Amino acid sequence: MSEENKDLGDKAEEAFDKAKEAAKEAAEDAKDGAKDFSEGAKKTANEFAEGLKGAGNAENKKILAGILAIVLGWLGVHKFILGYQKEGIIMAAIGVVGWFLCGIPTSIVGLIGLVEGIIYLTKSDEEFYNTYQVGRKPWF
């Protein structure tokens, strides 16, 4: 019986050593995976930060204003992006009041926003900048 117990003890010790080695390998794999994830996250964060640095230039304002004009033109959000507060308030007021008056005024203001969004996006960056940011043309 003591020989059997010795064999069982040896087998248990071998199993323990194998489990210990497997745990070490799993820990190394987890460490490598965490390192890869961390590097990827840092790269993504740096790309995002670089994108934010250029958010104030004319091209990004053009794209942002154009998309917002198409999507939320009836609220005049694109006017606020370009710095036209008076025009933005006019569009927002007509859009909201029109919402309660059968939607016809809202539809008209939304159509204006759609047209302006298309115009913004089809202009070259230089043309957009000179017309809407330097020249301060508020409508169309």
Exposed/middle/buried for 1, CB within 10 Å: 0-12, 13-18, 19+?
A: exposed
Distance CA 52, CA 62 (A): 15
Local confidence band at 24 (pLDDT 50, 70, 90 cut-offs): confident
Local confidence band at 7 (pLDDT 50, 70, 90 cut-offs): low
Give residue 55's pLDDT: 46
* Structural contact between residues 94 and 106, judged by C-beta atoms closer than 8 angstroms: yes
In the predicted model, what is the mean pLDDT of residues 117-132? 89
Query: 71 versus 11: which is more confidently predicted?
Result: 71
Q: Domain map of the chain by residue range?
A: 2-54, 57-134
pLDDT in tens, 34-43: 566 666 656 6
Tell me the average pLDDT of the chain: 77
Give Cα separations from 3 to 8, 10, 15, 83, 85 (angstroms). 9, 11, 18, 90, 92
Taking residue 70's Cβ as centre, other Cβ atoms within 10 Å add up to 18
Range among 12-16, 36-40, 53-57, 117-121 rated most confident: 117-121
Give residue 101's pLDDT: 84
Q: What percent of the chain has pLDDT over 70?
A: 63
DSSP assignment letter at 140: -
In the predicted model, what is the mean pLDDT of residues 22-30? 68
Q: Using DSSP, state whether 136 is helix, strand or coil.
A: coil
Give Cα separations from 47 to 39, 52, 55, 60 (angstroms). 12, 9, 13, 16
pLDDT in tens, 76-119: 999 999 889 999 999 999 988 888 888 788 888 989 999 999 99
Q: Tell me the whole-structure pTM to 2 decimals.
A: 0.55
Give residue 115's pLDDT: 93
